[in-house]
């Protein structure tokens, strides 16, 4: 690992710890409900090739029986709209959720006002590939200027390059399937 990569990694860990402390005082129930994913930054290998074809996704967050989170999402795939449900368990460190058996190593909210938007960081490991994403959740079909600025700030601060970021196409077909 080079010096620049190590410095970026240490800055990321420091920022995420500070945010976890802040969000640890909030009630996870505030994240519940329906959201649109309007923008994504990702280090996934094929994201750059696919980002121009990605459309708005729908997400519904509910509580599980064990006080974890259930995240139901709908996104466009090769066979049309696909739904996926993840059940995430809360880690001991407060406002961090995970399900390593499904490849979700971390799911955390980096910034939010809960009423209008949330910036969600996810660390994943799927099919031997580890990568991170930052997503802009919005309660409405259009994100506020505040939400977009916060998404751009977090994406940049976490080391995502411009080509690793995308505002998703405004097609709400798949999102509406679970948000209605």
Structure tokens at 75: 């996104």
The residue extents of the domains of the chain are 3-179
User: Which pLDDT tens digit goes with each residue over 2-20?
Assistant: 444 433 444 444 444 434 3
DSSP string, 68-124: -EEEEEEEEETTEEEEEEEEEEEPTTSSEEEEGGGTEEEEEEEEE-SSSEEEEEEEE
Which residues are within 8 A (CB) of 86 and not within 5 positions of it... i.e. 6 or more apart?
70, 71, 73, 99, 102, 104
- Asked whether residue 83 carries a pLDDT value surpassing 90, the answer given is yes
Structure tokens at 58: 């729908």
**CB neighbours of residue 83 within 10 Å:** 14
For the domain made up of 3-179, the CATH class stated in words is mainly beta
Q: First CA to last CA across the chain, in angstroms?
A: 47
In this predicted structure, what is the pLDDT of residue 14?
43
CA distance 174 to 101: 26
pTM of the complete model = 0.84
- The predicted-structure confidence for 27-50, as pLDDT tens digits, reads as follows 667 889 999 999 999 999 999 999
Q: Mean pLDDT across the stretch 131-137?
A: 97
The C-alpha R_g of the chain, in whole angstroms, comes to: 16
Mean pLDDT of 111-124: 93
| Amino acid 114: pLDDT | 83
* Confidence bin at 78 (pLDDT 50/70/90): confident
The residue among 25 and 18 whose pLDDT is bigger is: 25
């Amino acid at each position: 690992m080079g010096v620049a990569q190590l410095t970026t990694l240490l800055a990321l860990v420091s920022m995420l710890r500070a945010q976890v402390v802040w969000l640890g005082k909030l009630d996870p129930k505030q994240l519940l409900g329906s959201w649109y994913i309007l923008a994504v930054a990702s280090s996934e290998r094929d994201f750059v090739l696919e980002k121009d074809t990605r459309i708005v996704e729908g997400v519904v967050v509910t509580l599980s029986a064990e006080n974890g989170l259930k995240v139901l999402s709908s996104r466009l795939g090769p066979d049309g709209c696909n739904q996926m449900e993840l059940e995430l368990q809360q880690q001991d460190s407060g406002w961090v959720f995970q399900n390593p058996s499904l490849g979700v190593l971390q799911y955390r909210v980096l910034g939010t006002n809960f009423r209008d938007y949330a910036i969600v960081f996810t660390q994943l490991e799927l099919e031997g590939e580890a990568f991170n994403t930052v997503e802009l959740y919005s309660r409405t079909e259009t994100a506020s200027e505040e939400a977009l600025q916060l998404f751009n700030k977090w994406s940049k601060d976490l080391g995502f390059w411009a080509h690793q970021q995308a505002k998703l196409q405004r097609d709400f077909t798949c999102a509406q399937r679970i948000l209605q």
